[in-house]
């Protein structure tokens, strides 16, 4: 469904065994979510991997509603991740 997935690393452990195209840890970027600068940097890094990529082709997965909302305001799609077996199935179906 999506050409590219960005998995935003959360600060606590999860049981999700999914691998995205790009995993971004905001502490390594030295810019916090949900700041627009974070998404600009994430998009820039994504385009280094896939130059023709558009914002509409990106799915951001995060456990924060405000982070997902800011990602959508930037033009990405988002999925609010909460550890829950049903949510895991929903997420896996989005990614297949």
Task: Write out pLDDT tens, residues 46-58.
Answer: 888 888 888 988 8
Contacts of 21 (CB under 8 A, 6+ apart): 4, 5, 6, 46, 49, 50
User: How many CB atoms sit inside 10 A of residue 77's CB?
Assistant: 18
pTM: 0.72
Kindly tell me if the per-residue pLDDT of 37 is higher than 50: yes
């Amino acid at each position: 469904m999506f050409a590219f997935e960005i998995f935003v690393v959360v600060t606590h452990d999860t049981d999700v065994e999914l691998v995205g195209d790009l995993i971004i840890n905001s502490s390594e970027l030295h810019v916090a979510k949900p700041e627009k600068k974070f998404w600009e940097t994430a998009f820039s890094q994504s385009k280094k991997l896939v130059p023709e990529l558009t914002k509409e082709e990106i799915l951001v997965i995060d456990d924060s509603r405000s982070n997902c909302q800011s990602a959508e305001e930037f033009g990405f799609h988002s999925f609010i991740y909460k550890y829950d077996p049903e949510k895991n199935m929903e997420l896996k179906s989005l990614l297949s």
